Structure 1
């Protein structure tokens, strides 16, 4: 990936950090967007000496501000060859307890910010005749989780956008794919009241009897971001140890 510039939202999180490091090791310049300052500091420390990392702490809920930040970054870097829409928020409570404003807040960060990122990056991709867009969806689309309806809706929206964009952007040399991670031991699991019971449930459900790692996700995203995936588009790849099969 030498010479490629990657825009990666949620790049310092539980699944993001390892992917960022792998992309840097493969020669990419990574523009990492994350507003968790503690995680950003850990990413910067881990990435020291590994490659060209640019960090932005843009607030994805401020779509106009995010677009202005992206325009500045495009002017600085020359544009993005790869966009990875990974950032997400995941409130958990019964459906009837959510306000419409809370639904919209999840949509804004999980989906609309990704739309803004692609709108900013696409003109340069089209001009260069090359682009890779990777949307991070979720195993929760299988219907096995309650109390996450705004999150699940947002992740299904990304699958729909993946297919629509793949059809529309293919003539420009741009591929669009999604990955749907299974249950990975990240901060998101802290919402579960019984971590040990949840861990047993995950292992019972999976065909592969180990927990997934951030490296499993990094390898998958790196493939979709690379030249080698140039004839794959519009697909959603489930990375879940055989929990669900399609």
Structure 2
């Protein structure tokens, strides 16, 4: 496991299906994790699962990323204490229905949480990263960008925006020692799968399409995130790593 001792990491959606395990692994690797998540139940589960000797480095903030003024105020206070070394833009919502049934407000909400929150978090962290000449930004995108899913238009749109930001930021921030990469998870058995009406059929379809014949688990994503956070990944930027068991290959 990469040694992250002393690294200060901002992680959105940190208590969710993929975030929970990653947060624990980051703490075990020595990092200080500022975990932003709005789900009270999942937040409580994360705290309960955090070993007592690691809890001092977990700073859990129950926050609604759609509340832009509050998030900006929160982040201003955090970076005033000391710089953030890394930002993991992971939080997302994924309503599912035909495109024509989404209201303008629903479309705007997906964009606010999935994209604008990433803009706000990255903008807050950038001055400190630039001053210290080191930083890591990781955007969590999705296998849905390959075009194989219906009824997820605003979600897919938001993940496409994050991929564009990954490349633009990588080009712009590299001169300051800051890398920016994306992780594109495949189909993982989290709450997101509850949108599928036939769970058993969906599970069978996933395994059929993957080269690796097991379902992914949160540890697979945690390993990819730890790699991108490491010093060893310092010459990799602007890239997207597909963690999907070989479902798609590029």
How many positions carry a matched residue from both structures? 245
Distance 1:47 1:14 in 2: 15
Task: Specify the SS of the correspondent of 2:94.
Answer: coil
Deviation at 1:45, TM superposition (A): 1.0
Distance 1:217 1:125 in 2: 24
Distance 1:131 1:49 in 2: 28
Deviation at 1:14, TM superposition (A): 0.4
Deviations 1:61-107 (A, max 9, x none): 0112111011112234x121000000000000000001122111101
Deviation at 1:49, TM superposition (A): 2.2
CA RMSD of aligned residues (A): 0.8
Aligned residue number for residue 162 of structure 1: 166
The reply to whether residue 61 of structure 1 matches residue 66 of structure 2 is yes
Selected match of 1:7 from 5, 10, 14:
10
Deviations 1:183-235 (A, max 9, x none): 00000000110000000000000000000000000000111111111000000
Distance 1:39 1:226 in 2: 27
Aligned residue number for residue 73 of structure 1: 78
Distance 1:176 1:129 in 2: 14
Task: Report matched runs for 1:145-156 at 5 Å.
Answer: 145-156=149-160
Distance 1:166 1:116 in 2: 17
Selected match of 1:238 from 242, 245, 248:
242
Deviations 1:35-75 (A, max 9, x none): 10110011011113252100111210011211101111223
Distance 1:18 1:230 in 2: 24
Distance 1:53 1:210 in 2: 31
If the length of structure 2 is used for normalisation, what is the TM-score? Answer: 0.97
The reply to whether residue 39 of structure 1 matches residue 21 of structure 2 is no
If the length of structure 1 is used for normalisation, what is the TM-score? Answer: 0.98
Deviation at 1:10, TM superposition (A): 0.2
Deviations 1:95-131 (A, max 9, x none): 0001122111101000000000000000000000000
Deviation at 1:7, TM superposition (A): 0.1
The reply to whether residue 28 of structure 1 matches residue 27 of structure 2 is no
Task: Report matched runs for 1:213-232 at 5 Å.
Answer: 213-232=217-236
Selected match of 1:176 from 172, 175, 180:
180
Deviations 1:131-185 (A, max 9, x none): 0000000000011110000000000100000000000000000000000000000
Superposition misfits of 4+ residues, deviation over 3 angstroms: none
Distance 1:4 1:211 in 2: 31
In structure 2, runs of 5+ residues without a counterpart are none
Task: Specify the SS of the correspondent of 1:154.
Answer: helix
Contact 1:207 1:243 in 2 (8 A): yes
